[in-house]
Amino acid sequence: MDPFWHGFWPQGKFLGVEWHFWKIVGWLGNCVFFSRFMVQWYVTEKRKQVVIPVAFWWLSLTGALLLFSYAVYQRDSVFIFAYAFTWIPYVRNLIIHHRHQESLGECGQCHAKTPAHARFCPACGASIEWRTA
């Protein structure tokens, strides 16, 4: 090993940790799972109200699946059980979000998305006519 890198990777370790594929999967899971809080915080601050964006649920699902994969690799029953079922509410919230998006209408004047069966567009105030199928 190059002497320059020896200071960063003594005995093949970085920060005292021996790195391999599954260690990277585990740390990536931690980073993704943590990032969901940063996303939620950012959106809440931006809108000045508590908001849980859809990205929060995608990051939760991705992070939990990565951590579950790492737990299975480690064969740690406590760690496996901790992430075995967390995906259920994440997937359910993504389904609810998808159904809600499909139920939205569109304003005929400004083309903004409008809540299902709204009488007026929240963006421009135009009257909305709903067509029944």
Q: Mean pLDDT in runs of 10 for the chain (133 residues)?
A: 57 75 94 97 96 96 97 96 95 94 81 80 78 49
Under DSSP, is residue 49 helix (H, G, I), strand (E, B) or coil?
Answer: coil
Note if the pTM is more than 0.85: no
Show the DSSP H helices in the chain as ranges.
3-6, 21-47, 54-74, 77-84, 87-103
Rounded to an integer, what distance in angstroms lies between the CA atom of residue 59 and that of residue 57?
Answer: 5
Q: What is the pLDDT of residue 1?
A: 47
Contact 56, 36 (CB under 8 A): yes
Q: What is the pLDDT of residue 8?
A: 62
Q: What is the pLDDT of residue 3?
A: 54
Rounded to an integer, what distance in angstroms lies between the CA atom of residue 127 and that of residue 116?
Answer: 13
